[in-house]
Amino acid sequence: MFFTYLIGVPVGYIGMAVLGWPLVANLRRVNRLTVGAVCIVAAIIGALTFMALSIALTGKVHVSWHGRLDQAGLGLWMGLLAGLIFCGITGVPLRRHR
């Protein structure tokens, strides 16, 4: 469990700082900041980050497509959950304000 915090927390913070905040700021700038947009972006980032992290930790680049889809699916769900939690905490609106 300590290993999860040792690796997962810094990777999560880096991913948030490098990918998450600029995308949320851009969505806000173009008046597209909604729960749906944030969750879609968070799910994509989660899938890509989880796949990259699994390659970095295992060193296995050549894995079957089925294995990659499983990894992407798990990362997608974790990213979606993170996006929903972010929206709930920060009060991102469900719909755009016109």
Residue 60 has a pLDDT of 75
Residue 52 has a pLDDT of 82
Residue 4 has a pLDDT of 63
Number of domains in the chain: 1
Q: Is residue 23 part of a domain?
A: no
Phi and psi torsions of 94, nearest 5°: -70, -35
Residue 3 has a pLDDT of 63
Q: Is residue 5 part of a domain?
A: no
Residue 77 has a pLDDT of 92
Q: Is residue 86 part of a domain?
A: yes
Residue 1 has a pLDDT of 57
pLDDT tens over the chain, length 98 residues? 566 667 767 777 777 788 888 888 998 899 889 999 999 999 998 888 888 888 877 777 767 878 788 888 988 998 899 899 989 999 999 887 76
Q: Give the alpha-carbon dihedral of 58, 62, 66, 67, to 10 degrees.
A: 0
Q: Is residue 63 part of a domain?
A: yes
Q: Is residue 82 part of a domain?
A: yes
Q: Is residue 90 part of a domain?
A: yes
Report the candidate in 97, 67, 81, 75 with the shortest Cα–Cα distance to residue 38. 81
Residue 39 has a pLDDT of 93
Angle at 39 between CA 9 and CA 89, to 5 degrees: 65
For residue 93, give its domain range: 31-98
